[in-house]
Amino acid sequence: MSTYLISVAIPVYNEAKQIYENINIIHKILTENNINHEFILVDDGSRDNTWKELKRLSSDLPNVFAFKFSRNFGKEAALCAALEAVNGDACVVMDSDLQHPPEIIPQMVRLWKEEGYDVVEAVKSSRGKESIINKIGAHFFYSILKNLSGFNLDGASDFKLLDAKVVNSWNTMQERNTFFRGMSAWLGYKRTTIPFEVVDRKEGKSKWSTLKLFKLAITAITSFTSLPLQLVTLMGMLFLFGSFILGIYTLYMKFKGMAVSGFTTVILLLLIIGSTLMISLGIIGTYIAKIFDEVKFRPRFIVSEKAISEKIEHKNISANS
């Protein structure tokens, strides 16, 4: 076995049918490649028998550390909990459904250990079996995020290897509203990418609905840039300039005795300005809501139960974090 330790951090939600088998598959691949490893499994308030399966894993496999949330706090919170708990010299973050193929983990470890990369990102070469709407939406979202923040996350995934110092840097960020892909890119460090094909799920379906993806997109954009607020100011300036020109034109026509009826123009202007004001208030309200969430400083998650393999020492994450 290797002298270094790789932590495998996995958030889990309603995966009772396959989680036991999937973790054993990952364990087998890492063992065959002589990679010393531990599992950090976080149950994000599952409503099925996921927690029972995680406890079974902690009994049957070594180096398994399972944590159960008091309720569903979301995948991002589960990732935060897992990254607080890792002990390894590096940490692999991945999904529990094996759509992130564990077969490429040894290659990620090699790039980290032998070539000195601090972050090894697995990038989707294709998006797998995904609806056209989701594919178009993802492309549109990443294009917007790139233009607003400067980070190109097209094809990015949560499947990454992070050196211990990168994990430590991540844990210093205390935002309540997190976006792992973007915030890990913001950290910097020496990084490289490795392509992978998104494979089909063996059981169940994705937990990401269109609404959840939309909420994540809003969180990502508002977490990385204040440019939408600046666009509100720009729109106000444009309408002020337009109103000034229209006012001069109206006064000129009045003094010339050629006042235009302009009823349709007035209605259109009212509709346009009213819509712009509502959109502007919505953008401002979104940022205020994010500020409100941050200043309350509630914990990102609450851990209600733990299951740890016997005879294993492990640093504890706080029940409230």
Give yes or no: residues 154 and 237 share one domain: no
Residue recorded with tokens 């940022």: 287
Mean pLDDT of 290-315: 71
Residue 244 lies in domain: 227-296
Between 7 and 186, name the one with better pLDDT: 7
Give yes or no: residues 182 and 254 share one domain: no
Give yes or no: residues 184 and 247 share one domain: no
Give yes or no: residues 283 and 304 share one domain: no
Assign 122 a pLDDT band (cuts: 50, 70, 90). confident
Give yes or no: residues 246 and 132 share one domain: no
Name the pairing type of β-strands 64-69 and 37-43: parallel
Please enumerate in sequence order all residues whose Cβ is within 8 A of that of 105, keeping only pairs 6 or more positions apart, or say none. Answer: 6, 8, 26, 29, 30, 33, 35, 92, 94, 161
35-75 pLDDT per residue, tens:
888 899 999 888 888 888 888 888 888 888 889 888 888 88
Name the pairing type of β-strands 90-93 and 160-163: antiparallel
Give yes or no: residues 245 and 283 share one domain: yes
Answer left, alpha or beta for residue 45, where phi above 0 means left and psi between -120 and 50 means alpha: left
| The amino acid at 135 | K
d(CA 7, CA 171): 15
Residue recorded with tokens 């607020």: 229
Assign 171 a pLDDT band (cuts: 50, 70, 90). confident
Give yes or no: residues 192 and 231 share one domain: no
Confirm if 199 and 157 have CB atoms less than 8 A apart. no
In a domain, 103, yes or no: yes
Pick from 89, 67, 88, 86: nearest CA to 78: 67
d(CA 203, CA 217): 26
pTM (predicted TM-score): 0.65
In a domain, 1, yes or no: no
Above 70 in pLDDT, residue 226?
no
Pick from 70, 44, 69, 43: nearest CA to 58: 43
Give yes or no: residues 236 and 172 share one domain: no
Q: What is the total count of domains within the chain?
A: 2
d(CA 145, CA 159): 19
In a domain, 319, yes or no: no
Give yes or no: residues 26 and 124 share one domain: yes
pLDDT at 306: 80
In a domain, 321, yes or no: no
d(CA 161, CA 107): 10
pLDDT at 174: 78
Give yes or no: residues 199 and 233 share one domain: no
pLDDT at 32: 87
In a domain, 217, yes or no: no
For residue 265, CA distances in Å to 1, 98, 255, 280 come to 77, 58, 19, 22
In a domain, 78, yes or no: yes
Per the DSSP assignment, residues forming a β-bridge with 64 are: 39
CATH of the domain at 109: 3.90.550.10
Assign 188 a pLDDT band (cuts: 50, 70, 90). confident
| Token pair recorded at residue 317 | 């994450």
Pick from 186, 195, 5: nearest CA to 112: 5
244-299 pLDDT per residue, tens:
676 676 666 666 666 555 555 666 667 677 767 777 777 777 777 777 766 777 77
Give yes or no: residues 186 and 241 share one domain: no
Give yes or no: residues 188 and 255 share one domain: no
pLDDT at 35: 86
**Across all residues in the chain, what is the average pLDDT?**
76
In a domain, 127, yes or no: yes
192-214 pLDDT per residue, tens:
888 887 766 565 555 555 566 66
d(CA 153, CA 146): 7
Assign 319 a pLDDT band (cuts: 50, 70, 90). very low
Mean pLDDT of 92-118: 87
